[in-house]
Amino acid sequence: MTRCSVLVGLALACVLLSPCLALADSAGKLYEKGTALLSQGEFDGAYEAFRQAAKADPENQEYRQQTALVRQVIKVRKRLGEEKDAQKWGKMANALRTFYHDNQVYGEALKIDREAHDRMGTGESAANLAETQLLAGKNAEAVELVSGLSPEIAIPRALAYLGIALARQGEIDRAKEIAGTLKIPVKAAAGLLFDCACLHALVGDKSGAAKLLTRCFEQTPPSRLDGAKLYAKQCEDLSSMVAGLEFAEALKTQSKVKESKCSGGTSCGKCPSKSSCSTDKKTSSSTKGKK
Amino acid sequence: MKTTRRIVQFGFLALTVVGVFVVKGNAERWCPFGGVEAIYSYATEGNMLCSLGVSNFYILAAVLLSTLLLRRVFCGYMCPIGTVSEWLQSGARRIGVRALRVPGALDRVLGLLKYPVLAFILFITYRAGELLFREFDPCYALLSRHGEDITFWAYVVSGVIVVGSLVITIPFCRWLCPLAAVLNPFSRFGLTTVKRDTKLCTDCGVCSRACPMNIPVAERDRVDEARCISCLGCLEVCRTSATDALSWGPPKTLARSWPQAALIAIMLFCISGAVATTYAFPIPSFVQTFDQTRGTQPERTATLPMEVNNLSCRGNSTLFAFFIDRDDLYEIDGYLKIEAWPGPSPAQVLITYDPAMTDEGEIKQAITESYFDSEAGFWRHSPFDIEGYDPLDDDD
């Protein structure tokens, strides 16, 4: 009798749980479908898939956030074509570009970076375009782009990408020359340090690459450090040093950046953004451009 | 009298425990010392620190009023630390642990320590704009259900108080409590006092020995010491109480002596008044205005009340304002005022806006939609949910 009860209980549990599991499973499949469509640049299809996933699993915050974000991106993409204000256009383009990179939609990122560089023609816009070209595997185009820049706008980041592109194409000597002459600012951003680390790794300077990687992680905010380390482990440009001791040591680096905990609401006193935190009524008048 | 006081102490302690561990309320909101700590930020910024609310001010006002009327009655009847500390010593005495008697002069010197403690806490709090003392606060350690900010040192301080209370009568209350430092100047001018009739007194000294605050009652005609907590323990032990050698009441009085019930009634009236005022006048703890016209309200405004989740303190409220003040696709035009009561979810928020420039739907979208932080270079997902609103239903 007891064994029978246990078996009945188990059967009942399976019957009750299976729809939930099936739903979660289908939500997961829908989410994967959305991700795949997104990487192909199929925004409307991706949005629909994410929306269905969020409906199937309403408790899953990631599905809901991604759905809302893709919907916003679709709207911004439409608005971008109509925007006349250069500053606003730049901000929207930057937001879209970040989204495309985060979701590996490099085709769209290339389009927007090309348009941005055509509009602005700065070292920064050139570096952005070169970065996306490298991510999309268009090494030759990156070389052509950066090589054609005038010296005034050939910023270190752009030159780093040139070096990486050359190294990937087998032109190690030219890449080494760039690596040797590249002036890295003392307070360089984490992104530039990472790119320089990749360049040094590609030209065989593993020790230099490890040092740069260490500096990169020190400059990465704590909330993004795990992601940065994972990216470093998976980065093909660093693959030659992943098995090495220096790389393992670099991965142990802790962030030296003080990060605001504002989102979490704790520790306002220790918040590095406190001095710029707008709780003062005198600064409450909005300074952003209004319609 | 002692039994009555124990009952009142138990009542307040039970209320605190139930409120914190059963109802899961925010005990910090009802701490009078929180009101002291928040004065500066509220006066200069119009916002409360951390997860404090204006109820802290109402409670502080009630405690100050009761102190003016009844001296440090808060310490003697309501404070959970005072209650636990006193009961620990009482329990220790029952198992044969004798309390150490601290000589009067040393006791007075040690009693001065609370003033630099108060000054230090207020200085670091006002400078940082944050309850930094919280990390070491024994009361917060116990009543926050081990809050996020709690450090190991808070439990060390709690442990020292517990151990100290076993062998010394209420040491924290006598020597270190920063709230006592605030109350003492008011208590010094307390309207009620313990009086000794020298004609009836036999000078046995038992009243002085009974005083937990080490006041030499037998040497006074009136107990004017600021540290008197109106426990009336001296009255109870007075061997000549039948002839009323000791009495308690106003100095110039309609009746020579007031009963303890009057003390409790006045105290409860003050506290009830504070609680009632909190609900009758719910002033927001966080206020921020966004206005193109620099302080001038439009002719017509509308209001949007909301219940928002994950809005528990000033930090969250600042992030809330950050989202509302966005400058992207979901930016809101025109006059806007945020009034929030941060606290356990859902928190109350009231938005006042110009209906000619925006509407409820746009405001809700601004709060809940992701926002690209161009300075930080990444997309921020909004941590806020609005009760009864699903952004995914809002398809246009």
Considering only alpha carbons, which residue of chain A is nearest residue B368? A68
Query: Is B318's CB within 8 Å of A267's CB?
Result: no
Looking at the structure, do residues B385 and B320 belong to the same domain, yes or no? Answer: yes
How far is C-alpha B94 from the geometric centre of its chain's CA atoms?
A: 32
pLDDT tens over chain B, length 396 residues:
888 899 999 999 998 888 888 887 777 888 899 889 888 878 877 778 777 888 899 999 999 999 999 999 999 999 988 999 999 988 998 888 888 888 888 888 999 999 999 999 888 888 777 777 777 777 777 776 665 566 778 888 888 888 999 988 889 999 999 999 999 999 998 888 888 888 888 888 888 888 989 899 989 888 888 999 999 889 888 865 555 688 888 876 555 677 888 889 999 999 999 999 988 988 888 888 886 554 566 788 899 999 999 888 887 888 898 899 888 889 888 878 999 988 877 889 999 999 988 999 999 999 999 999 887 788 888 889 999 998 887 554
Six-digit token string for B339 = 């009034």
Q: A65 contacts in B (CB within 8 Å)?
A: 370, 381
Tell me the residue type at B334: G
pLDDT digits (tens, 9 = 90+) for A90-131: 999 999 999 999 999 999 999 999 999 999 999 999 999 999
The whole-number pLDDT of residue A284 equals: 32
Q: B368 contacts in A (CB within 8 Å)?
A: 68
What is d(CA B59, CA A46) in angstroms, rounded to the nearest whole number?
Answer: 54
What is d(CA B343, CA B349) in angstroms, rounded to the nearest whole number?
Answer: 11
Backbone angles phi, psi at A253, to 5 degrees: -65, 140
Q: What is the ipTM of this complex?
A: 0.78
Decide if domain A20-82 falls under CATH 2.60.40.10: no
Looking at the structure, do residues B269 and B370 belong to the same domain, yes or no? Answer: no
From residue B254, how far is each of A170, A262, B129, B250 by CA, in Å? Answer: 104, 58, 48, 8
Q: What is the mean pLDDT of chain A?
A: 84
Looking at the structure, do residues B354 and B269 belong to the same domain, yes or no? Answer: no
How far is C-alpha A268 from the geometric centre of its chain's CA atoms?
A: 28
Q: Is B337 on the interface with A (CB under 8 A)?
A: no
Q: At what angle do helices A43-56 and A2-39 cross, to 10 degrees?
A: 160
The answer to whether residues B349 and B312 touch, using CB atoms and an 8 Å cutoff, is no
Is residue B249 in a domain? no
For the CA atoms of B19, B24, B28, B30, the dihedral, rounded to the nearest 10 degrees, stands at -30
Looking at the structure, do residues B367 and B309 belong to the same domain, yes or no? Answer: yes
Backbone angles phi, psi at A238, to 5 degrees: -100, 5
Q: Which CATH number goes with the domain that contains B346?
A: 3.30.70
Looking at the structure, do residues B105 and B7 belong to the same domain, yes or no? Answer: yes
Helices (H), chain B: 2-17, 32-45, 55-70, 73, 80-94, 104-111, 114-128, 138-143, 152-167, 171, 178-187, 206-210, 233-237, 260-280, 314-324, 360-368
Is residue B94 in a domain? yes
The whole-number pLDDT of residue A275 equals: 46
Query: Is B129's CB within 8 Å of A263's CB?
Result: no
Q: Which residues contact A202 (CB under 8 A, 6 or more apart)?
A: A163, A164, A167, A168, A172, A175, A237, A240
The answer to whether residues B28 and B52 touch, using CB atoms and an 8 Å cutoff, is yes
Six-digit token string for B381 = 């997902």
Query: Is B319's CB within 8 Å of A280's CB?
Result: no
Which residue, A135, A75, A126, is CA-closest to A103? A135
- Structural domain count, chain B: 2
The whole-number pLDDT of residue A269 equals: 47
What is d(CA B49, CA B121) in angstroms, rounded to the nearest whole number?
Answer: 14
Backbone angles phi, psi at B303, to 5 degrees: -125, 150
Is residue B193 in a domain? no
Looking at the structure, do residues B89 and B169 belong to the same domain, yes or no? Answer: yes
Is residue B226 in a domain? no
Cβ count within 10 A of residue B92: 15
Write out the H or E segment, with its range, that includes residue B304: strand B302-309
Looking at the structure, do residues B109 and B64 belong to the same domain, yes or no? Answer: yes
What is d(CA B55, CA B31) in angstroms, rounded to the nearest whole number?
Answer: 9
Q: Which residues contact A137 (CB under 8 A, 6 or more apart)?
A: none
Q: Could you tell me the end-to-end alpha-carbon distance of chain A, in angstroms, rounded to an integer?
A: 76
Query: Is A99's CB within 8 Å of B379's CB?
Result: yes
The answer to whether residues B234 and B211 touch, using CB atoms and an 8 Å cutoff, is yes
Query: Is A264's CB within 8 Å of B315's CB?
Result: yes
The whole-number pLDDT of residue A22 equals: 60
Print the domain residue range for B318: 286-393
Residue among A65, A264, A279 whose CB faces B370 most closely: A65
Q: Is B372 on the interface with A (CB under 8 A)?
A: yes
**Domain boundary residue, one of B251, B279, B307:** B279
For the CA atoms of A150, A155, A159, A161, the dihedral, rounded to the nearest 10 degrees, stands at -120
Which residue, B385, B288, B383, B370, is CA-closest to B328? B370
If you average pLDDT over residues A268-290, what whole number do you get? Answer: 40
Looking at the structure, do residues B340 and B355 belong to the same domain, yes or no? Answer: yes
* For chain A, domain boundaries: 20-82, 184-255
Q: A271 contacts in B (CB within 8 Å)?
A: 315
Which residue, A72, B220, B235, is CA-closest to A80? A72
The answer to whether residues B32 and B60 touch, using CB atoms and an 8 Å cutoff, is yes
